[in-house]
Amino acid sequence: MNNFKKIKNSLNEKEAVIAVMGLGYVGLPLAISFAEAGFQVIGFDPSEPKVTLVATTDSESLAKADAIIICVPTPLTKSYEPDISYIVSAVDMIRANMTPNTVVVLESTTYPGTSKELLYAPIEKDGWKLDEDFYVCYSPERVDPGNKTYQTENTPKVLGGMTPISMQVGTALYEQVINHVVPVASTEVAEMSKLLENTFRSINIAFINEMSLLCEKLDIDVWETIEASSTKPFGFMRFNPGPGIGGHCIPLDPIYLSWKAKEVNFFSRFIELAQETNHQMPEHVVHKAMKTLNSKQKALSGSRVLLLGMAYKENIDDLRESPSISVYENLVKAGASVDFCDPLATKYRDYDGTIQETIPLDYSSFASYDLVIMLTCHDLFDKEQILANSALILDTKNVMSSFGSSKVTRFGGGPVIDVEKSLMAQ
């Protein structure tokens, strides 16, 4: 039996050892899925705190693995270029502990060509032969923190192989834990698909944010406009405005794509404009806060401001690239005295390295603030209590619209009107 058939059989019989490098929000659920499917799983992470949960910091354990899945971070440098150092480090560890007939899969978000340049080329240079001694695939992670509907198993998995044989081995690997594997022609297509997905979202979020700014100028309710447009059963996809974009994917992935495009002398104006628009939204929150306080004859400088929700999205504790942090920093620079309340994302390190911590969720304390800004509206927040105990509210997510209170200023322009009552009054 040749090596190709051996590795496929070991995967199908659940005899293969699976190693997952990086036990973050992507790697840990994946490692658990393989373990629950009956595989022996090695979880590797250089961070000691994570390893106390499961697995090892010993890179030599990788020598026991038949399949190694790389789920390491891919941040940006200070100059907004891809930081591939975590991938390089992971591949170096694999090379140092390489054994014959190993499947190597990259899941980290990166630019097209990474699998060929950083996985295949270095391993091949060591003397190993592709599709005889090792197999290379790319399968972009598709994790949506806090999503209760789509988990690891029922989220379709795009998979590209360096060759058709590598693709078959990679498919056999992921079919053990994923309901629907979506094969594509190459690792480059798979890498590009991830960037396309999130650049699409970035551009459309930027568009709706710009429409929100325009509606404010025209005194038109952007939220009612979106609701009206959403009744069209074809040709329209809903996106909502807000205080900015956050998380690991949407703020970063378009920059990876733009960076790669410049290598071939292609400049994407859509990406650049979307980044510019989305990044200005935290500043718009501050401008809106200033106008809201001015309407009550108060200045932003010297006012006490409370931010509700620091995580980048509702019902999770993830602060990566959260626009709420930019709002906090800009308000402080404007002279406001700022606190935040987030029972899920309870602390973060600010730009100066200082640890900022949440205040307790005590609605009665809200009355001591001149302005409460709703940024990330977790389900655990009681909106009626917020309204009852706040002197003034700036609502960036339109979650208070049903109350129709004069205390509430919203993003997007236009007064809060109950259409049915208005018609009855006529």
**pLDDT tens track for 117-157:** 999 999 999 999 999 999 999 999 998 888 889 999 999 99
Confidence of residue 58 (pLDDT cuts 50, 70, 90): low
C-alpha to C-alpha distance for 273 and 295, rounded to whole angstroms = 32
Architecture of 3-185 per CATH?
3-Layer(aba) Sandwich (3.40)
- State how beta strands 408-410 and 393-395 pair: parallel
Confidence of residue 29 (pLDDT cuts 50, 70, 90): very high
pLDDT tens digits for 392-423? Answer: 999 999 999 888 888 999 988 755 444 444 44
The total number of residues shown for the chain amounts to 426
Please indicate whether the domains covering 3-185 and 203-419 agree at the CATH topology level.
Answer: yes
Residue with tokens 């693709």: 167
pLDDT tens digits for 246-286? Answer: 988 899 999 999 999 999 999 999 999 999 999 999 999 99
Between residues 402 and 89, the one the model is more confident about: 89
Region 317-327: what's the mean pLDDT? 94
For 157, other C-beta atoms within 10 Å of its C-beta total: 23
Whether domain 203-419 has CATH 3.40.50.720: the reply is yes
Task: Indicate which residue of 71, 137, 215, 249 is catalytic.
Answer: 249
Amino acid at 314: E
Whether the Cβ atoms of residue 140 and residue 158 lie closer than 8 Å to each other: yes
pLDDT of residue 60: 77
Confidence of residue 76 (pLDDT cuts 50, 70, 90): confident
For 189, other C-beta atoms within 10 Å of its C-beta total: 15
Asked if the model's pLDDT at residue 55 lies above 80, the reply is no
pLDDT tens digits for 185-194? Answer: 999 999 999 9
C-alpha to C-alpha distance for 134 and 101, rounded to whole angstroms = 5
pLDDT of residue 118: 97
Q: Residue 341 catalytic?
A: no
> How far is CA 24 from its chain centroid?
13
Question: How much is the mean pLDDT over the chain?
Answer: 91
pLDDT of residue 383: 96
DSSP helix, strand, coil percent of the chain (3-state; round to 5):
40, 15, 45
Confidence of residue 57 (pLDDT cuts 50, 70, 90): low
Between residues 425 and 405, the one the model is more confident about: 405
Q: Quote the percentage of the chain above a pLDDT of 70.
A: 94
Structural domain boundaries of the chain?
Answer: 3-185, 203-419
pTM of the model: 0.90
Asked if the model's pLDDT at residue 294 lies above 90, the reply is yes
Confidence of residue 47 (pLDDT cuts 50, 70, 90): low
DSSP letter for each residue of 322-381: -HHHHHHHHHHHTT-EEEEE-SSS-EEE-TTS-EEEPPP--GGGGGG-SEEEE-S--TTS
pLDDT of residue 218: 93
Confidence of residue 349 (pLDDT cuts 50, 70, 90): confident
Amino acid at 48: E
Lowest mean pLDDT among 50-64, 86-100, 168-182, 304-318: 50-64
pLDDT of residue 420: 40
Confidence of residue 54 (pLDDT cuts 50, 70, 90): very low
